[in-house]
Amino acid sequence: MARTTIRRVSRKKPTKKAVFFQKLKPVVAVVVVLLVVFAVGFHYRNGLAYYLGFKSKFSNQSASEQKRISDVRNYTLLSKYESNPAGIDVSEYQGTILWDSVHLVENEFPIQFVFVRATAGVDYVDKKFAENWVATKKMGLIRGAYHYYRPDENSKLQADLFIKNVALRKGDFPPVLDIEQMPKRQSMAELKKGIRNWLERVEQHYGVQPILYSGERFYTDFLKEDFSEYTCWIANYNFFVENLKPHWQFWQFTEKGSVYGISGFVDVNIFNGTEDELVQLTLGN
Cα 130–Cα 135–Cα 139 angle in degrees, nearest 5: 155
Selected catalytic residue, list 65, 92, 131, 180:
180
Question: Is 106 labeled as catalytic in the residue annotation?
Answer: no
User: Which of 122, 113, 164, 119 lies closest to 281, judged by CA?
Assistant: 113
User: Which of 244, 208, 263 lies closest to 90, judged by CA?
Assistant: 263
220 Cβ contact list (under 8 Å, min separation 6): none
Q: How many CA atoms lie within 13 A of 131 on its CB side?
A: 12
Q: Rounded CA gap, 127 and 131, in Å? A: 8
Chain centroid to Cα 264, Å, comes to 15
DSSP state of 223: I
Q: Rounded CA gap, 167 and 118, in Å? A: 11
Please tell me whether residue 54 adopts helix, strand or coil conformation.
helix
Which residues participate in catalysis according to the annotation?
A: 180
